[in-house]
Amino acid sequence: MNKAMKVAAIALASALSMSAVVAPAANAANCTTKTKVVMLGTIKDEIKDQFLGAVEAYNKSQTCYTLESIQGDKKLTFLQNVTPMYAANKAPTIMYTLQEIPNMADKVMDWSGSKLAKLVPTSLLEAGKVGKKQVGVPSTVEAFGLVYNKKVLDKAGVNPKKIKTRNDLEAAFKAVKKSGTGAIHFSALWWSLGAHLHNLYFTNVSSSHEGRLKVLDQMVDGKRDLIGDPIFKDWLATYDLMKKYNNGKPNLTDTEYDRAVADLAKGKAGFWFMGNWSEPSLLTADPKGSYGLMPLPISNKATAYGNDSISVGVPGYFMVDKQQSSAEERAGAVDFLEWLFTTPAGQKYVAGPVSQGGMNFIPAYKGFKVSPSTFMAKEIAGYVNAGKTLEWMNTYFPAGGQELYGASSQKYMTGKINGEQYAAELEAAWKGKKKAWRE
Instruction: Indicate the DSSP class of residue 32.
Output: S
3-state class (DSSP) for residue 313: strand
Q: Is the pLDDT of residue 168 over 80?
A: yes
- Residue-wise pLDDT for 65-111, tens only, equals 999 999 999 888 899 999 999 999 999 999 999 889 999 999 999 99
Ranges of H-type helices in 132-225: 150-156, 166-178, 190-191, 198-204, 209-221
Q: Is the pLDDT of residue 11 over 50?
A: no
Phi, psi of 106 (to 5 degrees): -85, -5
* Spatial CB neighbours of 230, under 8 Å, sequence gap ≥ 6: none
Q: Which tops the pLDDT comparison, 223 or 75?
A: 223
Residue 5 confidence (pLDDT):
40
Which pLDDT score, from 0 to 100, does residue 29 have? 58
pLDDT score of 169 more than 50: yes
Mean pLDDT over residues 239-258, rounded? Answer: 95
DSSP state of 362: B
The mean pLDDT of the chain is 90
Task: Check residue 6 and give its pLDDT.
Answer: 39
In terms of Cα–Cα distance, which of 425, 421, 433, 353 is closest to 397? 433
311 vs 11, higher pLDDT: 311
Rounded to two decimals, what is the model's pTM? 0.78
Q: Domains in the chain, start-ordered, CATH in brackets?
A: 8-141+315-368 (3.40.190.10), 143-312+389-433 (3.40.190.10)
**Whether the Cβ atoms of residue 340 and residue 58 lie closer than 8 Å to each other:** yes
Dihedral over alpha carbons 190, 193, 195, 201 (to 10 degrees): -160
For 235, residues 6+ apart whose C-beta sits below 8 A from its C-beta are 200, 201, 204, 298
Across residues 276-299, what is the average pLDDT? 94
Above 50 in pLDDT, residue 7? no
Cα–Cα nearest to 389, from 317, 305, 316: 305
Residues in contact with 318: Cβ distance below 8 Å, sequence separation at least 6, in sequence order: 94, 95, 96, 136, 137, 138, 139, 337
**Residue 294: pLDDT over 90:** yes
The conformation of residue 229, written as its DSSP 8-state character, comes to -
